[in-house]
Chain A
Amino acid sequence: MTDSGPPPERRPSDPSARKREARITGVGTSLRRAVVIPALAVLTALIIGGVIIALTDLDTLSVWGSDPMEALRLTLSGVGNAYKALLIGSVGSPRALTETLYAATPLILAGLAVAVGFQAGLFNIGVNGQMHIGGMAALWVGFSVALPGIIHIPLAIVAAMIGGAIWAGIAGLLKARTGAHEVITTIMLNFIALYLVDYVLTTSAFQAPGRNDPLSKPINPSAQFPTLGDFRVNIGFLIALAAVGFVWWLLYRSIIGFQFRAVGFNPDGGRYAGMNVAWVYVGVMAISGALAGVAGTTQVLGLEPYRGISGFAGTLGFDAIALALLGRSHPIGVLFAGLLFGALRAGGREMQGAAGIPVDLVLVLQALVIVFIAAPELVRAIYRIKTPEEETGVTISTGWGG
């Protein structure tokens, strides 16, 4: 049990396993197939969400016994109102549209971080931790120096990228050197980052004067993301768009990206072709972490009250996994998936306000979307779509720990 020889190769090398793996992350799927299943997955999730809303409407449930027709009408109108609010809150007005873009910003960036990992066959489940570390680096740059915005904001973002890259790089380095599975190390690094943020925010270097709770000093206005008029959407969205372009270029037009995808497709092949697989793992994690770091900046420099708070990344790192799967790990796909989830977020707030449906429903919808994408047989069975080729399940991560 205490044997610590060189890490055995955990990734399956046989082509069928590779093919299965590519199917879930969507690496290399055709456009039509990349759209049909995700669209049906979202539709099915919304239908099930409606059932959940109906089943938890205590007032209406009590009507079923006495007047079923009336209860049915109430149920349908309840669900209808909820989804109407969702629609109005996400695309119903110019303000709603900007709210959607605003909510989509961190999601797109974090989703890109996960997608880059998937493309190289790595599962970066630690985007949350990398967002926290990157965000803290940006925060520090944000309040400790005063510079013109045109220098200050890029400087803060670079700091965040370095922070996120280092945090993710630890997991990459551990995988490359010792074979420790990135899923375990990144889960653990998430929690370490969470507590580190709590600690750092209570040190005198970060804490707002006169406070006892983890709340940082305010960020200098020069480092705050400029907003579009009095809407909340800010320059972060443009940065996210630029990141989409960059990741597309990186993956499909650069030599590094080719190596990433080659190793993701078949590590043995990559090694045979002379690539340093260990360093590819470190590089992938570093780039993924840098993207996560940028996502972290949006939660600090682009969000009221422009201070660091405890656990500012929320569940974004996990939402990002859903996004990357929905977007089939393609940067453009992630962009659209991010916009969709952003719309759910923005609309979810309206739904909570106007229809009294807790915004947590969005998490449930998200989980359902991933299930249907990860198990396409479910969707095919529901909609009776023919199964293409030898369709089976999918595996990205086989075994761990080494």
Chain B
Amino acid sequence: MTSTAVTSEKSIDRRATSEERRATVIGVALVILAAFVFWVFGLGVESGVTSLFNLSLPGERFQDLAWEVNSRWLAFLVSAILAFLGGFVLRKSHLKRTNLALAIGLGLLALAFLTWAAAGNSFSLVGMLRSTVILSVAVTLGALTGLMCERVAVINIAIEGQLLTAAFVGTIMGSAWGIWAGLIGAMLTGAILGAVLAVLAIKFRVDQIIAGVVINIFALGLTSFLARRVLSEAQDLNTPGSFPSLKIPILGDIPVLGTMFFDHSMFVYATFILAIVLHLGFFYTRWGLRSRSVGEHPKAADTVGINVYRTRYRNVILGGVIAGFGGAFLTLSQVSRFEENLTAGIGFIGLAAMIFGRWMPLGALGAGLVFGFARALQQKLGILGTPIPSEFLSMTPYIVTIIVVAGVVGRSRPPAADGKPYIKE
């Protein structure tokens, strides 16, 4: 963020060439994708076959909405647009639009893929989009947790452990004293683990990766231990109930969009609001500026009177609260039951989403939705019986993250001081 101000003339030259190189890579990739869509999704289906997308779920106000499309012609259309986008990017006249072109291209690719997968069949598109939103919640909250910590230069790879432990405590307290107690318990648990991470990282200056690994192992061990030793004996502590779905009046009745966004438990709304609030907070308030300065250049922040340690403690603990909220979502909304290793890597997808979203809250939300889409797609593909193994879709978030950190498709840059302990002189 701050590097542009000090970039020397020389590095501006170099950036121009590296952006051009990126444009070449992305342009060629788009053209190859266009050819791929043409051959596989276009010529791969019989002519005249249609794909039927259902756009309403049973019980909605507007029933039997559907979109029927000729599978082959849609693929041809997408292929043409992809080729156009590829040509546009390769012209390199609008380098700033490269990412936009890539995003549009990938979105269209997903559409062409779905049409191909549903060729001669019907497919509940709105159902999948709805589960995209639901599945994105925990990932987004995980990403926001990581972001809260890393913006003040504390690496948090303990998101997974925070989610898991919070989900566990949420289950127990929710079963014993009701769902709201469960929610508060989960958030407190997240905060406590955040505080542990903060103390290890800030006070004891333990390597932050190791601190994160420790918390993950500890969380997995302790929750599995307690689940077997306590929950197996006291079954009634594993029935927390769940938060009800709150349909928003009017908005909830809009076809497709209403079902996607406005007919969920409060966790979903809260996640969207939180991402927006954090984005505004980080980039338009004094708190955000101070937090970011601690993450980019703690010494400078200290010099102007910002308390580096206190800022770090506060943000890491608040991040823990967000993770606790995410953990509560898992057992108090998505499933109403705790099982060993319930999170199964969601925290790490959150970490990936944070990187993919370039350490920005709205980026994290977008990345969460993209990864949620991949997971939703993976669940529905089995129903359609496509030859694409679901495992490859499961890999998507991780492969995307490697591509992003390797800088092939635009580099994602962490806060400058990320992971470095600060020693006040």
Contact = CB atoms under 8 A, between A and B. Distances in A.
A25 to B, nearest CB: 9
Interface string B189-227: 000000000001000111111110111111011101110
B221 A400 contact: no
A185 B408 CA distance: 14
B94 interface: no
Given A5-B15, A396-B207, A370 B419 contact: no
B322 interface: no
Contact of B358 (A1, A393, A397, A402): A1
Contact of A195 (B4, B209, B395): B395
A146 interface: no
B398 interface: yes
B405 A378 contact: no
A56 B209 contact: no
A178 B421 contact: no
Contact of B214 (A178, A184, A367): A367
B420 A395 contact: yes
A217 B235 CA distance: 39
Given A3-B15, A180-B405, A358-B225, A402 B213 contact: no
A125 B405 contact: no
B329 interface: no
A4 B407 CA distance: 6
Interface in A378-402: 378, 392-402
Given A56-B225, A185-B405, A370 B210 contact: yes
Interface string A345-367: 00000000000111011111111
A399 B218 contact: no
A371 B157 contact: no
Contacts, number: 214
A199 B395 CA distance: 11
Interface stretch (A93-101, A252-260, A317-325): A317-325
A318 to B, nearest CB: 6
* Residue from A2, A24, A398 with most neighbouring chain B CB atoms (10 Å): A2
B399 A366 contact: no
B413 A56 contact: no
B207 A358 contact: no
B419 A400 contact: yes
A225 to B, nearest CB: 28
Tell me which of B15, B18, B207, B215 has the highest count of chain A C-beta atoms within 10 A of its own C-beta: B207
Interface stretch (A159-167, A186-194, A238-246): A186-194
A400 B205 contact: no
A35 to B, nearest CB: 20
Given A188-B352, A195-B395, A394-B205, A363 B220 contact: yes
A393 B209 contact: no
B418 interface: yes
Interface stretch (B133-141, B174-182, B386-394): B386-394
B19 interface: yes
A2 B414 contact: no
Contact of A196 (B15, B217, B391): B391
Contact of B217 (A188, A322, A401): A322
Contacts of A322: 217
A402 B7 CA distance: 16
Contacts of A368: 218
Interface of B: 1, 3-4, 7, 11, 14-15, 18-19, 22, 99, 155, 157, 200, 204-211, 213-218, 220-222, 224-226, 228-230, 233-234, 345, 348, 351-352, 355, 358, 389, 391-392, 394-395, 398-399, 401-402, 405-408, 410-414, 416-421, 423
Name the 5 nearest CB pairs between A and B, nearest first: A393-B205, A363-B221, A367-B218, A199-B391, A358-B228
8 contacts: A52-B222, A192-B398, A195-B395, A358-B224, A360-B221, A360-B228, A395-B208, A397-B155
